């Protein structure tokens, strides 16, 4: 089978597939246009975020039998149309769930203890102790929205802290266990001190976190987002930060990322984006939560196992 590697993936995936007799062509350094020009020659394709496999581009891939996404998010693939065409769609959320969970915990601890702010101050010659007094996690109620691979992994990371973990997932039943209590969204609105998002980007979740959503919380909250930037309406987030309804936010993803999850620094920045960049109770990282060295290798291994079940 001829397999097109459209984007970077750990070298072990191509190595293992070649050992099984498959031909793997590496287009990771080629442009999206070059990938889409060649796509019709291949029966399998490995993608990240370089290209969008919409109906038009799927139709170009007239030999394609499967699409494998390195990572969890499938929003760059028209999955329903691919299925209509008999194309199997795979992803690897199991491979980077621990990385995302640990990064989320790191963001939360940094936010509560002013670590980023204090680090910058010390390096600039300021030694401000009372101004950087932190907050303990102990006794807090953490609400996890989306309890799939990354949401449940984040809950496991929290087991060593004296916290209550409430989780809501519209599409999963029986998520309660020894450290998670599955609840309705209304209970999260009533009890949560911290909200962490672990959702795919869909029509349903696009800008789900808006003013109406935020104002349903009984308490003033902290917000964590290591899922997809467009789940949060940034204009409404800024309003909530200004009113202190949201006391702080830690975001690994931003609404303003392009399709390949790159920044828009080369464009005029939206006022809300500028506010986030200049606000001390907001921590930003560049969509790296799932990008550990270990996760790269694990995602390749997960995809290999899934692909080989299809093609042998």
Give the tens place of pLDDT for each residue, 154-201. Answer: 999 999 899 999 999 999 988 999 889 999 999 999 999 999 999 999
Q: Based on the domain organization, do 192 and 267 belong to the same domain?
A: yes
pLDDT at 263 over 70: no
pLDDT value of residue 70: 95
Within a domain: residue 113?
yes
Residues 80, 161, single domain; the answer is: no
- Kindly report the CA angle at 86 between 81 and 89, in degrees rounded to 5? 70
**Same-domain check for residues 147 and 278:** yes
Same domain, 176 and 217: yes
Q: Among 22, 228, 255, 296, which one carries the catalytic annotation? A: 228
Longest dimension (CA), the chain: 64
The single residue of 22, 69, 287, 296 carrying the catalytic annotation is 287
Q: 260 pLDDT exceeds 90?
A: no
Active site residue 287: yes
Q: Above 60 in pLDDT, residue 276?
A: yes
Summarised one tens digit per residue, pLDDT across range 77-132 is: 999 999 999 999 999 999 999 999 999 999 999 999 999 999 999 999 999 999 99
- Residue 307 within a domain: no
For the chain, the domain total comes to: 2
* Pure H helices in 85-200: 93-112, 115-123, 149-157, 185-191
- Grade residue 211 by pLDDT with cuts at 50, 70 and 90: very high
Cα-trace Rg, the chain: 21
Q: How confident is the model over 31-43, as a mean pLDDT?
A: 96
Q: Which is it for the CA torsion 6, 7, 13, 15, positive or negative?
A: positive
Residue 69 is assigned to a structural domain of this protein: yes
pLDDT-above-90 percentage for the chain: 92
Does residue 267 have a pLDDT over 90?
Answer: no
Q: Is the model's pLDDT at 255 over the cut of 60? A: yes
pLDDT at 269 over 90: no
Instruction: Please tell me the pTM assigned to this model.
Output: 0.93
Q: Give the end of a domain, one of 37, 72, 91.
A: 91
Residue that terminates a domain, selected from 35, 60, 91: 91
Residue 133 clears pLDDT 90, i.e. is over it: yes
CATH of the domain at 8: 3.40.50.720
185's enclosing H/E stretch is helix 185-191
DSSP 28: T
- Can you give the residue range of the structural domain that contains 255? 97-284
Instruction: State the DSSP H helix or E strand holding residue 143, giving kind and residue range, or none if neither.
Output: strand 141-145
The answer on 236 and 130 residing in a single domain is yes
Question: Is residue 265's pLDDT more than 60?
Answer: no
Whether residue 310 lies inside any domain: the answer is: no
Let me know whether 184 and 147 are in one domain: yes
Confidence of residue 268 (pLDDT cuts 50, 70, 90): confident
Residue 163 belongs to some domain of the structure? yes
As a whole number, the mean pLDDT across the chain is 95
pLDDT, tens digit (0-9, with 9 covering 90-100), for 222-253:
999 999 999 999 999 999 999 999 999 999 99
The one catalytic residue among 257, 268, 294, 296: 257
Do 64 and 178 belong together in one domain? no
Say if residue 249 is in the same domain as residue 137: yes
């Amino acid at each position: 089978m001829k397999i097109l590697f459209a984007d970077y993936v750990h070298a072990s995936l191509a190595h293992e597939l070649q050992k099984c007799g498959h031909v793997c062509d590496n287009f990771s350094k080629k442009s999206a246009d070059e990938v889409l020009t060649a796509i019709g020659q291949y029966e399998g394709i490995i993608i990240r975020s370089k290209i969008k496999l919409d109906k038009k581009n799927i139709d170009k891939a007239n030999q394609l039998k499967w699409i494998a996404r390195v990572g969890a998010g499938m929003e760059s693939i028209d999955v329903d149309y691919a299925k209509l065409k008999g194309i199997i769609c795979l992803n690897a959320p199991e491979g980077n769930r621990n990385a995302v969970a640990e990064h989320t915990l790191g963001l939360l601890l940094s936010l509560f203890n002013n670590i980023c702010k204090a680090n910058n101050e010390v390096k600039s010659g300021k030694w401000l102790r009372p101004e950087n007094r932190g907050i303990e996690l102990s006794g807090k109620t953490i609400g996890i929205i989306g309890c799939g691979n990354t949401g449940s992994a984040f809950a496991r990371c929290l087991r060593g802290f004296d916290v209550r973990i409430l989780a809501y997932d519209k599409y999963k039943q029986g998520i309660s266990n020894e450290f998670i209590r599955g609840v309705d969204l209304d209970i999260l609105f009533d009890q949560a001190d911290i909200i962490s998002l672990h959702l795919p980007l869909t029509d349903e979740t696009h800008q789900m976190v808006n003013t109406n959503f935020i104002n349903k919380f009984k308490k003033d909250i902290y917000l964590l987002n290591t899922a997809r930037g467009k789940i949060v309406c940034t204009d409404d987030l800024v309003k909530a930060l200004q009113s202190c309804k949201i006391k702080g936010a830690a975001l690994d993803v931003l609404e303003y990322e392009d399709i390949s999850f790159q920044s828009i620094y080369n464009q005029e920045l939206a006022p809300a984006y500028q506010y986030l960049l200049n606000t001390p109770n907001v921590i930003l990282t560049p969509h790296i939560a799932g990008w550990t060295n270990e996760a790269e290798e694990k995602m390749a291994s997960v995809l290999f196992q899934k692909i080989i079940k299809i093609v042998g």
